[in-house]
Amino acid sequence: MKKKAFITGINGQDGSYLSEYLLSLDYEVFGIVRRNSIAEHQESRIDHLVGNGVITEYGDLLDVSSLEKMIRTIKPDEIYNIAAQSHVRISMDIPQFTVQTNTIGLLNILEAYKNNHPKARFYQASSSEMFGRTVDSDGYQRESTKMSPTSPYGCSKVFGYNMVKHYRNAYKLFAVNGILFNHESPRRGSNFVTNKVVKSAVRIKKGLEKKLVLGNLDAYRDWGHSKDYVRAMHMILNHIEPDDFVCATGVTNSVRDMCNYVFSKLELNYKDFVFQDEKYLRAEELKYLRGDSSKLRSTFGWKPEYTFEMLMDEMIDHWLGIYSLQ
């Protein structure tokens, strides 16, 4: 009998890649999709999967009844909670919505899971933003690093991380956290800095834009590819015992490094087109994130297949392909 997986946030970047990966492992995949006013774009990342192994239903993390109904009906072997308001800068503009979605939404699905199908395994998408400015003496952040978030998003993720541990310990559930550092792809939203940089660079090359305005060019991040990270999610959830793991490449680059690489690949000098504006700065800047995934690597043999340069090249090729058709 095929295993069943239930994914919240299935129509996002990670949800779409995770669906593809689980289908390759012969899973049945179910997902919850939030109905909104732009219905034609709702499932664009998974249109090719719906009806080909993926089944979706309308629902919402803030609607307990829809969660309970799906979990009771599907009886999934695995639950992946990937849905969130995940844009850090935007979380400072809409802190109430961010916190409500990422905390009450999580509580709702934990309760639906505990009360309706506690035999399942539960994965929570935690984030490197939980660490904030705290860095260990060797320049890395790992499972034992003190959490000191610097945004409403990071704060909401600390709550979620601790709640999952609480439910695991109090109710003996197989509930785990994957502490994922930044991971990107061509499917990333264009309001995230990686896709914003690549898309704008291609548009500038094509004569469709004249400049790119960003915030802190000297923010350093540990960027990987979503495809590598969804493999890690599955490994973590299928461990012999529930535990929490950091997933990261261990390599850090700045936004300036990214701009230099992407514009150079397009035979442009980023200094001629990229400008800084204080309005794009965070209220509390987070300058450095670099993850140590030694525990994940030693436990499962996981390692990233994509380098930073391969990730950027794939994203450049994607947007060049889009604009060559126009």
User: Mind telling me the catalytic residues?
Assistant: 127, 129, 153
Comparing CA positions, the residue from 179, 191, 129, 183 lying closest to residue 156 is 129
Is residue 12 within 8 Å of residue 83, measured between CB atoms? yes
Is residue 129 within 8 Å of residue 149, measured between CB atoms? yes
DSSP 61-76: TT-HHHHHHHHHHH--
- The CA distance from 74 to 67, in Å, is 11
- The CA distance from 241 to 227, in Å, is 24
Comparing CA positions, the residue from 128, 83, 154, 85 lying closest to residue 249 is 128
Q: Kindly state the tokens that stand for 324.
A: 């060559």
| Unique residue bearing structure tokens 């979990």 | 71
Comparing CA positions, the residue from 266, 269, 275, 272 lying closest to residue 203 is 266
Task: List strand residue ranges (DSSP E) for the chain, in order.
Answer: 4-8, 28-33, 54-58, 78-81, 121-127, 174-180, 183-184, 212-214, 220-221, 224-225, 245-247, 253-254, 274-276
Distance of CA 193 to the CA centre of its chain: 13
Core vs surface per residue 24-45: b (16+ CB within 10 A) or e: eeebbbbbbbbeeeeeeebbeb
- The number of helix segments (H) and strand segments (E) in the chain equals 11, 13
- The CA distance from 55 to 221, in Å, is 35
